[in-house]
Structure 1
Amino acid sequence: MTGELTPEEITTFSDAPAPPGRTPWVIEPRVEEIQIVDPDPRWPERARALMDRIRDALGDRALAVEHVGSTSVPGLPAKPIIDLDLTVADSADEEAWLPALEAAGFVLTVREPWWQEHRCLKPSPGGANVHVFSPGTPELVRHRIFRDWLREDEADRRLYADAKRRAASEAAAQGELMMEYNARKAAVIREIYQRAFRAAELLKE
């Protein structure tokens, strides 16, 4: 699962902000209502359709496409937004993969060269985020660990569901963006990660 990454690389988070004068936004976000809804059995089917669309567009340039995030965890309330991780040979080499995805109706919304060369695209119609990384990126491994842990651990599913609902309510009351909503639940996410990392024997007790 971890490839050539060390346990330290996987378990160490980097929260560095964008460099001065830089922004991650290719398309500026707008305030929109953040809703946490009950689990929908159609989410995996929606994810598979998007994954097929990406593979059709990229062929063997799509090294891996995975359903991650809350909609990939059965029984977990979530925003009705599908999150996918797409692995390409070099996410920084946009010319190698972005035009084909744009032709298939995906729009680049985020570019973060300073954070694991992350890119994010949204399909048309919406309802999904496609996170693009290169092989060996720690975030790819973390996403799988988090997903697989929540699929197995009922107590942490409940804990995370409560944190999501609380963060969504508070963010809505303040008219905040998705970034602020994510920040409001970050402490609980890190707490769950610690248990998941220990279960994967990446952290010592």
Structure 2
Amino acid sequence: MPADSPRRRPDVDTVELIGGIEKRALSLNEYDPSWPEQFDLHRVRVSDALGATALLIEHIGSTSVPGLAAKPIIDILVVVSDITAEEDYLDQLLAAGYRLRVREPGHRLVRTEQLDVHIHLLETADPAIEDYLLLRDQLRNAPADREQYERVKRDLLSQDWPDMNSYAEAKTTVIEEIKARARQHR
């Protein structure tokens, strides 16, 4: 949201993890050509639920990168104008069958009951939007980066993680390296 646009209310200042920490089995699947089709089904579902409130709906994460092994979880980025205005999007997504998992400053996450789709909600102008798309596009277009990323993910999966968030945080260094190379090539 532009700095001169007021929010309806202050954002949350803590991380609320609905259901607490979850230890889940983590594995990588070889790229599945049905992942874009699965994204399309949820893109329509989200679009039908939110209408014009969804300013952008993009397939992100490893399942959006042809040829990249991934956890079989479709990550979707949805941009809204005001993350604090949950009345504009949250009840609609819950009614469409998604469940709230994370409420944190600048970010909400809803997911399917089957835990196979994660919808990340951000507000306009959040720098994370560009970061998600930059990483996705670099992995799609740079085979060496895609191979490095997959190698790191496989190495990390050999460890025991208390939850998916810990695993995700462990990938930060390689993600930042890949995004830096992408920025250099612009």
Give the TM-score normalised by the residue count of structure 1. 0.82
1:77 to 69, 74, 77: 69
Contact 2:22-2:162 at 8 Å conserved across structures: no
Q: Does the alignment pair 1:31 with 2:23?
A: yes
1:78-157 paired onto structure 2 within 5 Å: 78-113=70-105, 117-157=106-146
Letter of the 1:88 partner, please give it.
V
Q: State yes or no: 1:177 paired with 2:163.
A: yes
In structure 1, the gaps of 5 or more residues are 5-17, 201-205
Contact (CA 8 Å) 1:27, 1:110: kept in 2 or not?
Answer: no
Q: 2:157 maps to what in 1?
A: 168
Give 1:70 shift: 0.6
Distance in 1, matches of 2:28 and 2:171, equals 13
Shift of 1:188: 1.1
Question: Are the equivalent residues in 1 in contact too, given 2:161–2:167 (CA < 8 A)?
Answer: no
The residue identity in structure 2 corresponding to 1:181 is Y
Q: 1:29 offset after TM fit, Å? A: 2.9
Partner SS, residue 158 of structure 2 = helix
CA distance in 2, matches of 1:37, 1:165: 10
CA distances 1:96-123 after superposition (whole Å, capped 9, x unpaired): 111111111111110112xxx1000002
Which letter does structure 2 place at the counterpart of 1:68?
Answer: I
Deviation at 1:175, TM superposition (A): 4.4
Once the 2 structures are TM-superposed, how far is the Cα of residue 191 of structure 1 from its aligned partner?
1.1
* Structure 2 residue aligned with 1:8: none
Deviation at 1:192, TM superposition (A): 0.9
* Displacement after TM superposition at 1:126 (Å): 2.8
Residue 62 of structure 1 deviates from its aligned partner by 1.1
Distance 1:91 1:46 in 2: 25
Letter in 1 for 2:152: A
The alignment-based identity, stated in percent, is 38
5+ residue gaps in structure 2?
3-11
Contact 1:36 1:78 in 2 (8 A): yes
Determine helix, strand or coil for the equivalent of 1:110: strand
- Alpha-carbon distance in 1 for matches of 2:83, 2:74: 20
Per the normalisation by structure 2, the TM-score is 0.90
